Amino acid sequence: MIAVIDTNILARFLIGDDPAQGTKAERLFSTAKKIIIPTVVFCELCWVMSAVYKQPASFIASGIRGILTIANVEAKTDEITAGLKMLDDGGDFADGVIAYTGGLMAGESSTFVSFDKQAVKKLSARGLSALDADA
Q: What tens digit of pLDDT does each residue of 18-39 get? A: 888 888 889 988 999 999 898 9
Write down how long the chain is.
135
pLDDT computed for residue 71 by the predictor: 94
Q: Please give the average per-residue pLDDT across 102-110, as a whole number.
A: 65
Contacts of 112-121 spanning 24+ positions with Cβ under 8 A? 116/92, 118/90, 118/91, 118/92, 119/86, 119/91, 119/92, 119/95
Identify which of 92, 16, 106 has the alpha carbon closest to the alpha carbon of residue 61.
Answer: 92
Q: What tens digit of pLDDT does each residue of 36-51 get? A: 898 999 999 999 999 9
pLDDT at 119 over 90: no
